[in-house]
Amino acid sequence: MGKIVDLEEGLELVQKGITKLTNILEGRAEPSFITDECMMLYTTIFNIASRNHPQDHSQLLYDKYRELLEDYLTSEALPALSEKHDEVMLLELVHRWKNYKVMVRWLTHFFFYINRYYIPRRSLTPLAEVGLNCFRQLVYQVLKDKVRDAVISLINRERDGEQVDKTLLKNVLNIFVEIGSGKTHYYETDFEAHMLRETSTYYSQKASIWIVEDSCPDYMFKAEECLKREKDRALHYLHEISEPKLLQKVEDELLSPYTNQLLENETSGCHVLIRDNKVDDLSRMCRLFCKIASGMNLISEIIKQQVTAELTVLMKQAEDAASNKKPEKKDEIGLQELVLVRSVIELNAKYLAFSNDCFQNNSPLRKPLKQIFEVFCNKGFSGNSCVELLATFCDHTLKKGATKNSSEAVEETIEKTKDSSYGDITSLSQTVKLLAYVNDIDLFAEIHRQKLARRLLFNRSAHDDYERSMLKKLKQQFGWQVTWKMEGMVTDMTLAREIQSSFEEYLKSNRQENPGTDLSVTVLTTRFWPGYKSHDLNLPSELIKCVQAFKIFYETTYRRKLTWLYSLGSCIINAKFGERTIELIVTTHQAAVLMLFNSADRLGYSEIKSQLAMTDDEVTRLLHSLSCARYKILNKEPNSQSISRTDYFEFNSEFTEAMKRIKIPPPPVDERNKVIQDVDKGREYAIDAAIVRIMKNRKVIVYQQLVGECMEHLNHVFKPDIKAIKKRIEALITREYLERDQKNPSIFRYLA
């Protein structure tokens, strides 16, 4: 129950309470409030303001509240602040603000009653806000410029390396925010705008000094440092909205105006960093310029030029070396071409690594690198297509070291030094990366398959594991269509070895079946291997026995039809030259020729031809390899360098050679045309299959769409020619897989 309090009395009590509060806040000797005192103040207000009172003094109290605060500020806070400057002033301000907030809180408690009923009823500004407004009008507006300048000066001192009171700055800047009731309007206008301007000035000055004094990497290092520090600054005491604006200013002053100057710097710019492999500096360059479009474009350009230049140098070196080749070896792929391929592979790998390290995903380098290497990969070099070069390179990498003595250990040959002309196994991944640029990968695959066949069949492969590893990488890159046959080939070799073992076992237990000559047979699954012509050759009787023996063994155990490919076989023949016996390693065909001389001393060309039942072309090449090449096992009459149909041949018993076993080089085989034929046929099938698949799916389709989808289907293996696609469409129309629409000739329909 409130007693009726006289207004004058009540106000006096309140004033006393305020004074006490002020004293406490000012640190003057004053005992703290006790609960009763607080209650009394509250009750006093209550009584004055309550409706029970004959006169309603709520408005008066409301005004009094403000009055009290204003008094407090003008008598205590302002004087204290005006006599101070700089950092000291800032400290005082923070202190004053803290105290003021306490004051406001306490007063609001005391005046609670009107806050609760009177103010809402009259839609007046609540007490807390009134308090805020007072401070803002009396203190903030007066001092804000001084405060701002003091803060900025501290920031600059920190930039120059001094330690400053970060907490103080944070607290001061908080005031800017709190003064706007949490909105950043005052902060932005009264502080941030100026701070940003100052920042620009500061960095503009620094930049103009550094750009003259520092190398590009050093400059970039400093720039990155600055950005880091500004970010920290924003984190520690600026409001979060300032961070992006601040960093932008730094970039605008340090990086944007000097982009070209830095990147194109003669002695330390981008191309120098690339040349010297400075990955860290390049990464920094990319990080810094990633937001500056002109910068990224320039970096891309410079790298492109660098790559093109390096590539051109490599090609020139190779061309020069190639021009020194002997005329008869002009079209052969020799050492210099292989070195070129290896260098280009390494070049590509280097720049791919750069690209990934500096840019990670979405590297702006990916496209230009692709363009540059694509050009290289799809044109020719000194008479050979790049596809052939790459296939030959792979062949060398996967071969055992080429030596005369074929019993060299496999392990030794794998240890190839970097300086050797051959690649090493680890470069296979890099090779496949370069292959990704090749348009006609099916052509590469076909050549690779041909060479793989030779490696496998003539036991020249370094190791099965390496072959499989390469095939696996190719499969990952290009899909199973490109590699399934080759995988079959490698597996075939393992199976063939097993069959051979069984055969040898069989011969041991069936001695009567032994043909009298050691025989080793490799059984191949036809569809995996390149097509080899297999024509019947009139074999010498010894070999006929061998073939028979194996046939019996195989057909009883495996029941499959065998087709014999003598063109791929080899024989070891003991040749007696006078007293000396030399082992000759020859092809089966060569053996067939030589064995003829067991029963005749002298044979003419036509006799040899008819006895063997071969074509002129084959006979010519065979006889050439035995009589006009390095080892003249046969003497030719007349003794010219080319074979003619009137020549006569005799066994050369005078032949001498230091080694006990020599390999007679076989006649060279040019598989190029066959490869191209096979690839073209393969493409026809692939296009047919793609068209049928698309038509089955779509049922009805517009011509352009059919072509487009066809290209998409096939693109990863080869780039189909539009004419080729049209031709296949025609063929499929004839075979009634599809028909043209009667009314609209651009539309095709699937015929089930």
Rg from Cα positions in the chain: 47
CB 729 within 8 A of CB 691: yes
Q: Which is nearer to another protein, 184 or 705 (CB)?
A: 705
Q: Any contact of residue 734 with another protein (CB under 8 A)?
A: yes
Q: Which is nearer to another protein, 196 or 724 (CB)?
A: 724
Q: Which is nearer to another protein, 142 or 724 (CB)?
A: 724
Q: Using alpha carbons, list the distances in angstroms from residue 650 to 196, 387, 577, 596, 642.
A: 100, 43, 13, 10, 16
Q: Which is nearer to another protein, 541 or 734 (CB)?
A: 734
Stretch that binds another protein, among 162-170, 318-326, 675-683, 725-733 (CB under 8 A): 725-733
For the bound state, the minimum distance from the C-beta of residue 708 to another protein, rounded and expressed in Å, comes to 11
Exposed, middle or buried: residue 113 (CB in 10 Å: 0-12, 13-18, 19+)?
A: buried
Query: Per residue, what are the HEC states of 670-729?
Result: CCHHHHHHHHHHHHHHHHHHHHHHHHHHHCEEEHHHHHHHHHHHHCCCCCCCHHHHHHHH
Q: Which is nearer to another protein, 262 or 694 (CB)?
A: 694
For the bound state, the minimum distance from the C-beta of residue 670 to another protein, rounded and expressed in Å, comes to 25
Coil, helix or strand for 276? coil
Distance, CA of 157 to CA of 105 (rounded, Å): 36
569 residue type, one letter: G
268 residue type, one letter: S
Q: Which is nearer to another protein, 36 or 736 (CB)?
A: 736
Stretch that binds another protein, among 97-105, 501-509, 656-664, 736-744 (CB under 8 A): 736-744
Given the structure tokens 């925010």, which residue do they identify? 177
Q: Using alpha carbons, list the distances in angstroms from residue 83 to 22, 168, 603, 693.
A: 20, 19, 128, 90
Q: Which is nearer to another protein, 619 or 732 (CB)?
A: 732
Q: Which is nearer to another protein, 124 or 724 (CB)?
A: 724
Rounded to 5 degrees, what are φ and ψ at 383? 90, -10
- Interface mask toward another protein for 682-711; x: CB under 8 A: ---------------------xx-------
Q: Any contact of residue 730 with another protein (CB under 8 A)?
A: yes
Query: b/e map of 494-520 (b: 16 or more CB within 10 Å)?
Result: eebeebbeebeebbeeeeeeebeeebe
Q: Any contact of residue 35 with another protein (CB under 8 A)?
A: no
> Any idea what the Cα angle at residue 603 is, between residues 597 and 605, rounded to 5°?
125
| β-bridge pairing 700-702 and 747-750 | antiparallel
Distance, CA of 120 to CA of 129 (rounded, Å): 13
Stretch that binds another protein, among 344-352, 400-408, 647-655, 729-737 (CB under 8 A): 729-737
Question: Residue 522, by phi and psi: left (phi above 0), alpha (psi -120 to 50) or beta?
Answer: beta
Dihedral sign, CA of 244, 250, 253, 256?
negative
Q: Which of residues 412-451 bind another protein (CB under 8 A)?
A: none
For the bound state, the minimum distance from the C-beta of residue 703 to another protein, rounded and expressed in Å, comes to 3
For the bound state, the minimum distance from the C-beta of residue 683 to another protein, rounded and expressed in Å, comes to 15
Exposed, middle or buried: residue 235 (CB in 10 Å: 0-12, 13-18, 19+)?
A: exposed
Q: Which is nearer to another protein, 32 or 704 (CB)?
A: 704
Q: Which is nearer to another protein, 157 or 735 (CB)?
A: 735
Distance, CA of 473 to CA of 487 (rounded, Å): 12
Stretch that binds another protein, among 260-268, 425-433, 512-520, 731-739 (CB under 8 A): 731-739
Stretch that binds another protein, among 80-88, 155-163, 242-250, 732-740 (CB under 8 A): 732-740
For the bound state, the minimum distance from the C-beta of residue 729 to another protein, rounded and expressed in Å, comes to 8
Q: Which is nearer to another protein, 179 or 691 (CB)?
A: 691
For the bound state, the minimum distance from the C-beta of residue 731 to another protein, rounded and expressed in Å, comes to 9
Number of C-beta neighbours around residue 642 at 10 A: 9
Distance, CA of 478 to CA of 472 (rounded, Å): 10
Stretch that binds another protein, among 263-271, 390-398, 492-500, 728-736 (CB under 8 A): 728-736
Distance, CA of 320 to CA of 322 (rounded, Å): 5
Q: Any contact of residue 680 with another protein (CB under 8 A)?
A: no
For the bound state, the minimum distance from the C-beta of residue 700 to another protein, rounded and expressed in Å, comes to 13
Q: Which is nearer to another protein, 351 or 748 (CB)?
A: 748
Q: Which is nearer to another protein, 573 or 702 (CB)?
A: 702
Q: Which is nearer to another protein, 179 or 738 (CB)?
A: 738
Closest CA to 363 of 276, 277, 286: 286
> Any idea what the Cα angle at residue 56 is, between residues 54 and 58, rounded to 5°?
155
Pick the binder of another protein from 726, 737, 750, 752 (CB under 8 A): 726
Stretch that binds another protein, among 143-151, 182-190, 650-658, 735-743 (CB under 8 A): 735-743
Say how many residues touch another protein, by CB under 8 A: 14
Pick the binder of another protein from 129, 218, 319, 739 (CB under 8 A): 739
Pick the binder of another protein from 27, 54, 668, 745 (CB under 8 A): 745
Stretch that binds another protein, among 187-195, 411-419, 605-613, 742-750 (CB under 8 A): 742-750
Q: Which is nearer to another protein, 485 or 740 (CB)?
A: 740
Query: b/e map of 256-265 (b: 16 or more CB within 10 Å)?
Result: eebbeebbeb
Pick the binder of another protein from 23, 367, 727, 751 (CB under 8 A): 727
| β-bridge pairing 580-587 and 661-663 | parallel
Q: Any contact of residue 723 with another protein (CB under 8 A)?
A: yes
Stretch that binds another protein, among 18-26, 46-54, 254-262, 719-727 (CB under 8 A): 719-727
Stretch that binds another protein, among 121-129, 235-243, 516-524, 726-734 (CB under 8 A): 726-734
CB 211 within 8 A of CB 219: yes
For the bound state, the minimum distance from the C-beta of residue 734 to another protein, rounded and expressed in Å, comes to 5
Coil, helix or strand for 440? coil
Rounded to 5 degrees, what are φ and ψ at 645? -70, -10
For the bound state, the minimum distance from the C-beta of residue 717 to another protein, rounded and expressed in Å, comes to 22
Pick the binder of another protein from 128, 211, 562, 733 (CB under 8 A): 733
Q: Which is nearer to another protein, 405 or 734 (CB)?
A: 734
Contacts of residue 347, defined as CB under 8 A and 6 or more positions apart, other chains included, come to 307, 310, 311, 314
Question: Residue 73, by phi and psi: left (phi above 0), alpha (psi -120 to 50) or beta?
Answer: alpha
Closest CA to 108 of 134, 76, 138, 143: 134
Stretch that binds another protein, among 92-100, 173-181, 565-573, 738-746 (CB under 8 A): 738-746
For the bound state, the minimum distance from the C-beta of residue 735 to another protein, rounded and expressed in Å, comes to 8
Stretch that binds another protein, among 289-297, 364-372, 450-458, 737-745 (CB under 8 A): 737-745
For the bound state, the minimum distance from the C-beta of residue 752 to another protein, rounded and expressed in Å, comes to 18
Q: Which is nearer to another protein, 576 or 726 (CB)?
A: 726
For the bound state, the minimum distance from the C-beta of residue 733 to another protein, rounded and expressed in Å, comes to 5
Q: Which of residues 159-188 bind another protein (CB under 8 A)?
A: none
Q: Which two tokens stand for residue 658?
A: 């230091």
In the complex, which residues of this chain contact another protein (CB under 8 A)? Answer: 703-704, 723, 726-727, 730, 733-734, 736, 739-740, 745-746, 748
